Amino acid sequence: MSTLKNPLPQMNGGLFLTDGGIETTLIYHDGFDLPPFAAFDLFKDERGIRALRRYFARHASIARQNGMGFILESATWRASRNWPQKLQYSAAPNPRGYRQGDPSGGEHQGQIRDTQIPKG
């Protein structure tokens, strides 16, 4: 029995798809250079943001077509304190800047609205 105020949908059974291989897909299929394998660097311009949105939209579409939910992963897992210096950022990137490319919100939300996306 869950004691969460708002239990996560995946805890109630059912199938959920997750994305996988974001960096590999962006490098080998979409032609991006991601030194050192850091997808968060794509948030720096509109081309990168569009690529991230397409990546997540493909997975959401697969989930929707198969009647399952979709759990999306963050493209910012390497944006922690030590990684930005490896990409020659003068300081850690501002997480607020990531929100414009967040595939779970904003204009992109309409594209994945019918897919169950757990928030929490």
Is residue 101 exposed (0-12), middle (13-18) or buried (19+ Cβ within 10 Å)?
buried
Query: Is the whole-model pTM more than 0.75?
Result: no
Q: How confident is the model at residue 118 (pLDDT cuts 50, 70, 90)?
A: very low
> What DSSP state is assigned to residue 117?
-
Q: Is the pLDDT of residue 104 over 50?
A: no
d(CA 96, CA 65): 32
Q: Is 45 helix (H, G, I), strand (E, B) or coil?
A: coil
Question: How open is the CA angle 62-11-6, to the nearest 5 degrees?
Answer: 105
Q: How confident is the model at residue 115 (pLDDT cuts 50, 70, 90)?
A: very low
CB 38 within 8 A of CB 91: no
